[in-house]
Amino acid sequence: MAQKTYAGITVDVNEEGYFTNPSQWTREIAVEIAKEEGIVLTNQHFAIMEFLRNKHIKGEALSIRSINHSGVIDVKTFYQLFPGAPLKKATKIAGIPKPASCI
């Protein structure tokens, strides 16, 4: 298993850079990963990442549709906050596994 160091903390990641142990994640680490992705994190980013992390911890599948039911932001804003592939980027920065969802 690969390891990476963010904000002075060494964390376990898979070959694509996704956390294998979400409990190692901190907000400071998120800021560093986001920098690699060219994103400057705002409170909105953190709010939706918290939603994604909670869903993951509860064992619920993540989908782009679920963002609309988050009560935090809508899907359009989600695409703006994490340009390109938002669900993949957001989960990577939020320290949870890459979603296996097709929708």
List residues binding another protein (CB under 8 A): 16, 61, 63-66, 68, 74-76, 79, 83-88, 101-103
Considering the complex, state which of residue 40 and residue 102 has its C-beta at the smaller distance from another protein.
102
In order, the DSSP letters of 69-80 are TSSS--HHHHHH
Angle formed by the axes of helices 43-57 and 86-93, nearest 10°: 80
Nearest approach, Cβ of residue 27 and another protein (Å): 25
How near is the Cβ of 23 to another protein at its closest, in Å? 26
Residue 77 token pair: 């804003």
